[in-house]
Amino acid sequence: MDQTTIDHHISVLKGKLKGLKDTDLSGDDTINASITLWQKQASRKLLTREDNDIFVESCPNCRRPIKVTTKEESGLFTMNGYIGHYCPWCGQAVEREG
């Protein structure tokens, strides 16, 4: 999903939220949750950290590890953990390399 579409939906929701504040109607929690979900749709690059022969890729939103790659004595790399298009912890869309 492109950033323009995401920004448009966030803008519409913020306008509705502003309109609700002038009334006795509730629903601002739902709109705030919707805004948060739209913000997570924009793909962000994984944070990477290298510690000796361990490479950790973490979610840019919640900072929890998503992928860990270790280098074995044989020179081969072993990948452990989940790597999809979304963080399994918070739902942030993430960009994958390769």
| pLDDT for the residue 86 | 87
Cα distance between residue 24 and residue 22, in whole Å: 7
List, for residues 30-84, the tens digit of each pLDDT value.
788 888 888 888 888 989 898 887 888 899 999 998 888 887 766 666 666 666 7
Q: pTM of the entire structure? A: 0.61
* Residue 44 in tokens: 């962000």
Largest CA distance in the chain: 67
User: How many helices (H) and strands (E) in the chain?
Assistant: 2, 6
CA distances in angstroms from 22 to 9, 15, 29, 38, listed in the order given: 21, 11, 15, 24
| pLDDT for the residue 74 | 60
Sign of CA dihedral 72, 75, 79, 85: positive
| pLDDT for the residue 63 | 93
